[in-house]
């Protein structure tokens, strides 16, 4: 598999604080990892929505930011790029070369697990694609992910239980279950475990 999932959509904005307020306070997004790139002079942050859809905000942090040209033609901001997650960046680059699709900007960041390339909009139907090999959980707020020791969590509510499962894109997927559904799930798990042990 070359692409595992769409990781996030990046939006370039002139005012980071204003955009952050909009996504957090109006749309209910949860702020995750954020940082400043001093070389390219921009701030960025990852925001998680309800089902683990993610947005990234990019905003200039000084003069001569790499975003200046983009925002000059789009003063209100706009979609800057789409990031696709790959399980193996080297394999992805081989596949692109075999298909005659040029890419650029290969980077590895050792401080956090991230390897990336880009496909120019002229080669990808007008869209700048970033393709990255990454650990999805690294970029999420603690409130939207399970601890590293758990792949699931069960909680009892007033009327239903909640089963939280670790999501391959990081974070969790929550499923509300009645008591009867939880009993059926437990029976199915035991039946399947017995089959595995018997084989």
Distance CA 31, CA 140 (A): 8
What residue ranges do the domains of the chain occupy? 5-139, 145-198
Question: How does pLDDT run across 123-136, given as a tens digit for each residue?
Answer: 999 999 999 999 87
Instruction: Report percent pLDDT > 70 for the chain.
Output: 98
pLDDT at position 20, please?
Answer: 97
Query: In this structure, what token pair is assigned to residue 130?
Result: 């970033």
Q: Can you give the pTM of this predicted structure?
A: 0.80
Confidence band for 23, pLDDT divided at 50, 70 and 90: very high
Q: Say yes or no to pLDDT of 51 above 70.
A: no
**Right CATH for 5-139 from 3.40.190.10, 1.10.600.10, 3.10.180.10, 3.30.1180.20:** 3.10.180.10
- 45: which strand partners? 34, 57
pLDDT tens-place string over residues 67-114: 999 999 999 999 999 999 999 999 999 999 999 999 999 999 877 789
Alpha carbons 196 and 191: distance in angstroms, whole number: 9
170: left (phi over 0), alpha (psi -120 to 50) or beta: left
């Amino acid at each position: 598999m070359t692409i595992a999932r769409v990781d996030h959509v990046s939006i370039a904005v002139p005012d980071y604080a204003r955009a952050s307020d909009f996504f957090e306070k109006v749309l209910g997004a949860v702020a995750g990892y954020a940082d400043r790139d001093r070389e390219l002079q921009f701030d960025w942050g990852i925001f998680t929505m309800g089902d683990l859809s993610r947005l990234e905000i990019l905003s200039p942090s000084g003069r001569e930011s790499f975003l200046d040209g983009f925002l000059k033609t789009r003063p209100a901001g706009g979609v800057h790029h789409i990031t696709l997650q790959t399980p193996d960046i080297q394999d992805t680059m081989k596949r692109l070369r075999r298909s005659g699709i040029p890419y650029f900007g290969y980077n590895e960041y050792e401080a956090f697990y991230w390897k990336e390339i880009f496909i120019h909009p002229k080669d990808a139907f007008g869209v700048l694609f970033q393709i990255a090999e990454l650990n999805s959980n690294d970029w999420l707020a603690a409130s939207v992910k399970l601890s590293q020791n758990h792949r699931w969590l069960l909680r009892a509510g007033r009327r239903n239980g909640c089963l939280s499962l670790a999501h391959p894109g990081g974070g969790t997927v929550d499923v509300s279950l009645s008591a009867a559904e939880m009993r059926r799930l437990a029976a199915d798990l035991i039946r399947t475990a017995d089959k595995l042990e018997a084989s």
